[in-house]
Amino acid sequence: MDKAFFSDTPHIQYGETDMEPLVRNACRFGCDIQIVCTCGTAEISTGIQSYGMRRGTELFLFGGTLVQVSDPSPDFTVRMLLYPKDVVIKAILPIDSDFLNYLHEYPFLDHIGGGAPEDEWENVLQWMDMARLLFTRPVQYFRKQIEQNFLQSMLMCLYNHIPRKKVTASREISRRQVLCHQFMRLIRENSAREHQVPFYADKLCISPRYLGDIVAENFGGMTPKQLIDKQLIAEIKVQLDNPLFSVSEIAQYLNFPEHTSMSRFFKRNTGMSPKEYRASRK
């Protein structure tokens, strides 16, 4: 896994890596991802959100997420797990929904700072050691059961380390915050095809104006369109990094009426045309 990254996986995969392939090119992961930083620092971006990784931090990202790494320190290292959807679905069934909601809302965890118990980071590393033992060698029998049991047990252990007040507080967030989280999820899932605010407002059963108020409140005055465009720019860059697709094909895939409209949109937001961006990546 040091050299190759997988947008999806049929079974749990474990690796220790500097994530260098994702510094130059973003990747859309169809599977769920767990990233534990053991050394150094870097920014991990999902398009509209960024997370500052350093030793002792952990990040859970759910299927369909774009991932790109920026500004890694020379010693940046993570331990990383990729989880297939079917394993995740079976593993989470008996787990408290409040905890799962908490992970969706707060996927970034700090196991060293913020008053974390002294043994919390050590426990995380022990789970990573177990993952390395289980998933870096061929498993002849009971692989699916082993994968499900590992993930379920690890999540239950993590649940016991998060203070109850934090998990309980996730129940009490306002309806406006819930709608904001739902809007961000919809952007991740749909921005490649749906570029206009009314689509998202309709999905949330609210007016575009109310959505604008919610986004401005939670994103420092930004508009829904700005967030959609930010994610769409990330989507275009991912496609442009694939030399097999022409600019016209990318524009069609991303639901632009013609390639010139995509080119104008891209240049307006990045200062470069799609062709200039491609040339800069060679």
Q: What is the set of domains in the chain, with CATH numbers?
A: 13-169 (2.60.120.280), 175-280 (1.10.10.60)
If pLDDT is split at 50, 70 and 90, which confidence band does 271 have? very high
Kindly tell me if the per-residue pLDDT of 236 is higher than 70: yes
Look over the chain and give the mean of its residue pLDDT values, rounded to a whole number.
Answer: 87
Strand pairing partners for 61? Answer: 33
Average pLDDT of 71-86?
95
Average pLDDT of 60-78?
92
If pLDDT is split at 50, 70 and 90, which confidence band does 153 have? very high
If pLDDT is split at 50, 70 and 90, which confidence band does 97 have? low
Kindly tell me if the per-residue pLDDT of 280 is higher than 60: yes
Kindly tell me if the per-residue pLDDT of 104 is higher than 90: no
Cα separations in angstroms, 282 against 24, 222, 240, 279: 11, 33, 11, 6
Cα separations in angstroms, 180 against 58, 88, 183, 210, 220: 23, 24, 5, 11, 13
| pLDDT recorded at residue 275 | 94
pTM for the whole structure: 0.77
